[in-house]
Structure 1
């Protein structure tokens, strides 16, 4: 089988295509024939060495990419609920393992493999994983809010999604609207405004052309209950201005800087809480809950992808995995997928 590997960290040039033997699943493991491999920022950061914290590589050769979709090819002893022929999506495929999804076959713990509803495309399946599960977590950690998502779970709440044209923002808009929230999102230009609207945002605010705080206060005079935040350092003042009493800022990234300044006194009166989240360390119960709710959302037709749904799909062949990583690193608008095998 073909696999993309790297044996040292560095630029995209460290990625090479090699031939490997098809691996066999062990106890509790599933082998998946990959159709699409999804690329996330964490993938190029791991490859470059910027997120290894000096720990080195997990093996002599590492196959990148956390997310993917495909078909179960074989199951190991003790696996329940999955069988050969099942259409699936995968998540955290390369976390603490050297075997990501940029290869024709990958072996994974069964808990990281989720059945893909028949109505969903493989492109959608490979677009879930890190973005959708992160969005789910961000929407389920608010004080007084739901711990699970479904129709009506966020009824009566207003959610502000920072960066609604990104992959996590896109999923957060879709999931929040499905759960009954009023969804506001901030974007930086007209093209991204169209994408956020296509994703389902009720209100779109261009923070480069409008007074974002004033516009959001008009939309939500009683305040925003939850913020799904990609850029906490840039948006700290904005969030303080628009949050409701007991409001939450769920921070999933550090776009714009790894440090932020907060007006402590200004947050006391509204009992604001900041919740930082990293999908890799939230624990299996939270991941299981996200996978179940996301599956239900897919069955309800809630998480479509494609430009007409707010998330353009950018495709690359397996041999151009390095280019796919560069596209994500350079802030490509849309979801970057690698075409690995036939459906």
Structure 2
């Protein structure tokens, strides 16, 4: 099969290469998927660059990157219903704790990691449902339903943030989102009731004013280290802060008292490690939102497989409004 590989850490153009490698046949409980699209996430490019804490070399001699993707089941192993052959599916944790991910023409993996796509949902959407979709869904609903509550989405224009805005609105919440002025229209179109500039010096006061003076029950947080002070002021008693990133400040300092006396839950999300029951709940919610027509997953650009290095650079630049995908058969 055709695959993008690397065997050392470094810049995308220095270490990524296109080559033919063996496509493993599915073993017991496994399926082989002919991939249409592969999603490129920040975690994929950080792993390739060697930026994971404490990791000094790749975990395997040869790695095919990327966790997310979508395609069609081509073959099944023993114990898997042959009726699944030809089924459109989306992939989660493609390259998590294994050497071969979705930046390839095919992937072989456990059958439960190839989730049937809801009727009418295409591969472009499917390639967004792994890391971005599951992260957004668990960030919003990990503490339960949000109907009648207020959800603050910090970073509402990012891939996860935009999905979180839509999911929270679909779940019946009042949604306040922060982003740059340039992205205001995109976030408003996604359903946010109020959109504020994240750079505002009086952001906390603006959020409270927009919420009738009341604190918020849930905060979906893209930059925990930078925003924990503001979040601590805004979170309601027994509220939940759900951070999924802290790229600009990986060693945050926080004041315990304000969080203690509100009994705040800090629910740090690493979607790769989501327990099975919680993952199943998130998958179910994502599918229901899609079936209700409440969720769109914008794509910025689709690159040919041979141009995966350029796709990694596009993710690293951060200047995009939508997902970066790879055409696995192109």
TM normalised by structure 1 equals 0.90
1:53 maps to: 54
Q: Give the Cα–Cα distance (whole angstroms) in 2 for the partners of residues 253 and 52 of structure 1.
A: 14
Structure 2 residue aligned with 1:263: 255
What is the Cα deviation at residue 154 of structure 1?
Answer: 1.7
Partner of 2:329: 341
Tell me which residue corresponds to 1:186. 178
1:10 aligns to what? 10
Alpha-carbon spacing, 1:97–1:177, altered in 2? closer, same or farther (3 Å):
same
Note the 1:225-264 alignment, pairs <5 A: 225-264=217-256
| Equivalent position to 1:170, from 154, 162, 176 | 162
1:128 matched to which residue of 2? Answer: 129
Q: Return the alpha-carbon distance in structure 1 between the equivalents of residues 217 and 3 of structure 2.
A: 45
Instruction: Provide the secondary structure at the position in 2 that maps to 1:222.
Output: coil
C-alpha displacement of 1:141: 3.2
Structure 1 stretches of 5 or more lacking a match? 147-152, 307-311
Deviates more, 1:115-124 or 1:64-73: 115-124
Choose 102-111 or 43-52, whichever is displaced more.
Answer: 43-52
Are the structure 2 counterparts of residues 232 and 82 from structure 1 closer, same or farther at C-alpha, using a change threshold of 3 Å?
farther
* Residues in 2 aligned to 1:40 and 1:199: alpha-carbon distance in whole angstroms: 21
Q: 1:113-141 CA distances to partner (integer Å, 9 max, x unpaired)?
A: 11112321211111110011111221233
The whole-number CA distance in structure 1 between the counterparts of 2:82 and 2:292 is 21
Counterparts of 1:107-146 in structure 2, within 5 Å, are 107-142=108-143, 146=144
CA distance in 2 between counterparts of 1:301 and 1:137 reads 19
Aligned length: 327
| Partner secondary structure for residue 327 of structure 1 | helix
1:53 to partner: Cα distance: 3.0
Counterpart for residue 150 of structure 1: none
5+ long unaligned stretches in structure 2: none
Q: Map 1:284-303 to 2 at 5 A.
A: 284-303=276-295
